[in-house]
Structure 1
Amino acid sequence: MTTATDTRLLPLPTPVRDWGLLLTRVILGVVLVAHGWQKFTEWGIAGTTASFQEMGVPAPPVSALIASIVELGGGILLILGLFTTVAGILAALTMLGAVLFVHAPHGVFVAGNGWELVAVIGLASLVFALVGPGRLSLDALIAGRRTRSIQA
């Protein structure tokens, strides 16, 4: 029988986890930034709104602006590891909307406009909201400063 203190169940060493979280956070953030940047610059908010309207997304002008801001801003925040919980939740909710309103009827595979990519982005974002960004983040730096000032 194994217990919670059994060494076989202990996670990877903290530095390995932190570098893994950093790498994953940065790549996830870059993907989100690319999608948000595309909505602002390549398609424009008007084009994104028209696309959302065509796809049946509710309140297309508002939805297009929110999705664009969350993807671009949330991606930047995830890269920095700043306000990670909020950025992760907002990105996850945005991706949930994309799955429900656009991608679910098309099956799994992204090549057929399926839900796999938005699901992975959403779940990865949710993981960061749940576990935090790791020690190599601005959130950790700020928390460390707060802890030191409280102890002083």
Structure 2
Amino acid sequence: MNDRQLETIWAPRMLSLLRIVAALIFFAHGTDKILGFPDTGRTPDAFTLGWIAGVIELVGGGLLIAGLFTRPVAFLTSGLMAAAYFIAHAPQSVFPGINGGDAAILYCFVFLYLVFAGPGPWSIDALRNERSGARV
């Protein structure tokens, strides 16, 4: 298999896989904050900043796993992670390895990539667009 075949066949599938895996981990943060699973004792009070972030992680993560409304949800979650970094992590230190914000930065840019790259072929968006004749 040459490079062109790898790019044509596997790159879109790996895009879907990247979206699914990143969204699963993101979703797990939401289940922790909102549903208390697994029980870490870190459930924020309702309608606080942490609770709102948890709802976005839970709902947005679920939508991204499925690949439904991928571009707008990825835009929202990317912004959430940028805000999380500057609100919670950056004030502690300039260095992400010290301030614990490396995951927030990575999520921010993975989700920002999804805004432009789309969900990939393994998504509800791709199925919807296939039926309407549009391209993802």
Q: Alignment partner of 1:82: what SS?
A: coil
Pair 1:134-2:120 in alignment: yes
Shift in Å at residue 101 of structure 1? 0.5
Q: Which residue of 2 aligns with 1:113?
A: 99
Q: RMSD of aligned C-alpha atoms?
A: 2.1
2:130 to 122, 125, 144: 144
Classify 1:38/1:113 alpha carbon distance in 2 versus 1 (closer, same or farther; 3 Å).
farther
Q: Which residue of 1 aligns with 2:16?
A: 22
Classify 1:74/1:139 alpha carbon distance in 2 versus 1 (closer, same or farther; 3 Å).
same
Structure index of larger Rg:
1
Query: What is the CA–CA distance in structure 1 between the aligned matches of 2:106 and 2:5, rounded to whole Å?
Result: 22
Runs of 4+ in 1 over 3 A off after TM superposition: none
Unmatched tracts of structure 1, length 5 or more: 1-7, 50-60
Which has the larger displacement, 35-44 or 85-94? Answer: 35-44
Unmatched tracts of structure 2, length 5 or more: none
2:87 to 84, 101, 120: 101
Q: Which residue of 1 aligns with 2:66?
A: 80
Task: Name the % identity.
Answer: 31
Pair 1:67-2:17 in alignment: no
1:38 to 7, 21, 32: 32
Aligned residues: 125
Deviation per residue, 1:88-133 (Å, 9 max, x gap): 0111111011111111133211xx3332110001110111111101
When normalised by structure 1's length, the TM-score is 0.74
Deviation per residue, 1:45-69 (Å, 9 max, x gap): 32xx7xxxxxxxxxxx342232111
